[in-house]
Chain A
Amino acid sequence: MAGRIIDWIDQRFPLTKFIKHELTEYPTPRNLSYWWNFGSLAGIVLVIQIVSGIFLAMHYKPDALMAFDSVEHIMRNVNYGWLIRYMHSTGASAFFIVIYIHMARTLFYGSYRAPRELMWWTGQVLLLMLMATAFMGYLLPWGQMSYWGAQVITSLFGATPFIGDDVVRWLRGDFVVGDATLTRFFALHYLFPFLIVGMVVIHLVALHMVKSSNPSGINLADKDNIPFHPYYTIKDLFGFGVFFIVFAYFVFYSPNTFIEADNYEPANPLKTPPHIVPEWYFLPFYAILRAIPDLLGGVVAMGVSVVIFALMPFLDRSKIPGGAKYRPIYRIMFALFVIDILVLSYVGLKPPSGTLVIVGQVATFVYFALFTLLPFISRWEERWLRKKGLPPEVEELIRQEEEEAAKRGRRA
């Protein structure tokens, strides 16, 4: 019976064809490691956030006088409100952990290189949209940290030359962060996730054209692929299981790890908390912002530090494919970058004082140095490796890459 219904649909809509081509029979490299699970994990976290968010919105009041109380109402009176709220707050942190690991995988394995530049750039846009969504969402509980975090970050736009003050006032809808700001942030926080879904679709369309890269760096197209189903469906599901265990631990046993204590105090426009801290996922960029003594300089540096990733396909000049696998210098740079991010996070967490300020400035310098030196180091590394003598499989890889690039060039 079900078969006949599906046949009827198939004559009018490419249902089975689509599912076969894009999902069940979709060719995927057989050697993807667990680092490749993080894309689908990001998808499942997006679903968790949207579902929990919509059910929270049934009870939340986006009004400065009622917001804080409505969150406590959800926590205390709404059936399972506490569960939905903690899922949403934990989910926000989970989203960033997953995305940062996803980005790290892409950087390490060189998955941003041709022909995958658009995947990397749609990903970059998705990161920006996620950051905006998280920032606006954080204002909604209307706690002390919510309020003052929003106050600080919206004032940054005052650094814009000539029209700075007007921009800030326009953003807030008021002279300070207030009810007007809260209501519009709620409206946009509800909207953005659906824009993110749209962008994810574009991200996946791009993926299905260029196909996944893989840990070996070899272009496996037509050679050693396996169908996505059942191999990667089950592997992704297993990944979900592991993720949910960690997620559930935090939701049920440590839900306030990611909620600043100060945010359990209602927003007070007349009293700034002694120590304003953004959520952990913004810490490195916050540290870069503070490292530059000039306001406009700091804002520009912070902005550039987020979008500079987009330049990776151009900054990496090495012809040696496969990311860090055959490139020891690149691997060192990657490790340095990770350490630098952690140092910056620490600097962003603590109040600025004495040695920490210097450390933050050094770490900021290292951050930008790694990107700006990459073109030179990558070319030098390639020359050095060629002089040493490349393993035959790498020579083969390079030859294939040049063939592929030429094919693309001819088509252009």
Chain B
Amino acid sequence: MKQVIVSFFIVVLGVFVSASSQAGTTEVALKPIKVDRSLDSLRRGAQVVFDTCMRCHSLRYITYRDLLDMGLSKDEVDALRGDRGMGEYLQTTMPPAAAKFHFGMLPPDLSLMAKARKNGPSYIYTLLTSYEEMSNGKIDNPVFPGIRMPDILNVTVETAPEERAVVEQKARDVVAFLEWAADPRAQERRELGAYVLAYLVILTALLYWRKRKIWSRLDDA
């Protein structure tokens, strides 16, 4: 009976997990991505974001000092920031008036984008690499039909396999950087978590042993 109840709840949990992961607005199947969290990947991603994304997008919760914490050297950060202070946030070069004029809206801030969408990293990767030319000659994106953001990585143009590989690598690197930007303390969290869980398992085992010892006194009576 116990097994029936336990397996029942596991099935139920599965139903809810899959239900909530489809609660998003897009019907397109997202390309799953395993984020490469290495420093090289983050460095490359930072470069793409600076060169490409920040033409329109800001990252208001990331300062140049945070890039130091991420692992970039002082020289690398100085190269990226130029005259701007260490405490300044990553601001787009596009004036808000120009953004409103070209796009009708301010491009969204990217600091939290990897957490602000269901399966954020997959969403961003799929979005960046899914631009396609429609039958009417216009460029659109099935992940976000009617999107006002242009095909920034030139997915529709760079179709040769080697070009494609470069584009996909760029997209992967961008995703890695944005995942870091959304939760810069994630690495620290995971590392600390390993110690905390190990400690808790040991402590709980001790507590269980002690509980059995104490309760065995009742059998002696």
Contact = CB atoms under 8 A, between A and B. Distances in A.
A391 interface: no
Interface in B163-212: 182-185, 189-190, 192-194, 196-197, 200-201, 203-204, 207-208, 210-211
A252 B23 contact: no
A274 B26 CA distance: 11
Given A252-B193, A349-B16, A235 B211 contact: yes
B10 interface: no
B200 A248 contact: yes
A261 B116 contact: yes
B208 A238 contact: yes
Interface in A220-237: 226, 230-231, 234-235, 237
Contacts of A345: 16
Contact of A245 (B66, B204, B210): B204
Given A230-B214, A234-B210, A248-B196, A241 B184 contact: no
B201 A245 contact: yes
Interface string A341-357: 01001100110000000
A82 B215 contact: no
Nearest to B61: A72
Interface string A226-260: 10001100110110011011001101110110010
Contacts of A253: 190, 193
Given A76-B184, A238-B204, A261-B120, A349 B23 contact: yes
B193 A248 contact: yes
Contacts, number: 94
Give the secondary structure class of B's interface: helix
Contact of A349 (B20, B25, B116): B20
B115 interface: yes
B215 A83 contact: no
B204 A261 contact: no
A265 interface: yes
Nearest to A342: B12
B112 interface: yes
B212 to A, nearest CB: 9
A175 B20 CA distance: 32
A256 B184 contact: no
A262 interface: yes
A231 B214 contact: yes
B118 A226 contact: no
Give the secondary structure class of A's interface: helix
A264 interface: yes
A303 to B, nearest CB: 25
B218 interface: yes
A241 B116 contact: no
B65 to A, nearest CB: 10
A275 interface: yes
B190 A252 contact: yes
A277 B112 CA distance: 20
A180 interface: no
A75 interface: yes
B153 to A, nearest CB: 23
B115 A256 contact: yes
A245 B20 contact: no
A97 B205 CA distance: 23
Contact of A249 (B61, B197, B215): B197
A261 B66 CA distance: 23
Nearest to B15: A346
A226 B219 CA distance: 13
B16 A346 contact: yes
A30 interface: yes
Contacts of B210: 234, 238
Nearest to A263: B116
Contacts of A238: 204, 207-208, 210-211
Contacts of A230: 214
Given A30-B218, A76-B61, A248-B197, A241 B203 contact: yes
A234 B116 contact: no
A185 to B, nearest CB: 23
Given A252-B197, A253-B193, A264 B214 contact: no
Leading 3 A-B pairs by shortest Cβ distance: A252-B193, A241-B204, A264-B116
27 contacts: A30-B218, A72-B111, A72-B112, A75-B183, A75-B185, A76-B184, A82-B183, A82-B189, A83-B189, A83-B192, A230-B214, A231-B214, A237-B211, A238-B210, A241-B204, A244-B204, A245-B204, A248-B197, A252-B190, A252-B194, A259-B115, A261-B24, A261-B117, A262-B116, A265-B112, A274-B25, A275-B25
Interface of B: 12, 15-16, 19-20, 23-25, 61, 66, 111-112, 115-118, 120, 182-185, 189-190, 192-194, 196-197, 200-201, 203-204, 207-208, 210-211, 214-215, 218
Interface of A: 30, 72, 75-76, 82-83, 86, 226, 230-231, 234-235, 237-238, 241-242, 244-245, 248-249, 251-253, 255-256, 259, 261-262, 264-265, 274-275, 277, 342, 345-346, 349-350
Given A248-B196, A342-B12, 9 more contacts: A234-B211, A241-B203, A249-B197, A252-B189, A259-B115, A261-B115, A262-B116, A274-B25, A275-B23
